[in-house]
Amino acid sequence: MRRFIGFAVALLILAADQGSKYLVLHQLHLWDGHVLVVLPVLDFVLVRNHGITFGMLAGTASKVILAAGASIVVLGLFVWLWRTKSWLVTLAVGAIAGGAIGNVLDRLRYGAVVDFIHVHIGSIAYPWVFNVGDSAIVCGVIALMLDSLFSKPPVAANEGEG
């Protein structure tokens, strides 16, 4: 049951990611660089990331390579999801997989990842524009780090014999 919930989390994140990008691209009619103030600390700014973090590896041929590499990572995440026995890891890996799939679909459909969330307090701003899938990936990674820090290591069967 747990693993199916992990896959459901991945689908939920994927739907939220792609749905939010659809709204930004087709309903809000944002164009590249246009700023839509949503809240005093939140703007929507359409940015197309042709590379990876900071736009590294941007180029026409790299979009297929990046999409293929990310797809392999997603397959690995699904194997991990299938094998895990921890609820926190299940949810975290599901969130990471859903966000990664959303970004892969962007690369294949648009040639770039669609980013639009810009968080700031006055002139102090988070340095990157991101999307729902990116947020899920970051939250999933933080959850995995917390799980790693606070989970007890398994006790070996022969430990204590001596």
- Would you name the residues annotated as active-site residues? 115, 134
Q: HEC profile for the chain?
A: CHHHHHHHHHHHHHHHHHHHHHHHHHHCCCCCCCEEEEECCEEEEEEEECCCHHHCCCCHHHHHHHHHHHHHHHHHHHHHHHHCCCHHHHHHHHHHHHHHHHHHHHHHHHCCEEEEEEEEECCEECCCCECHHHHHHHHHHHHHHHHHHHCCCCCCCCCCCC
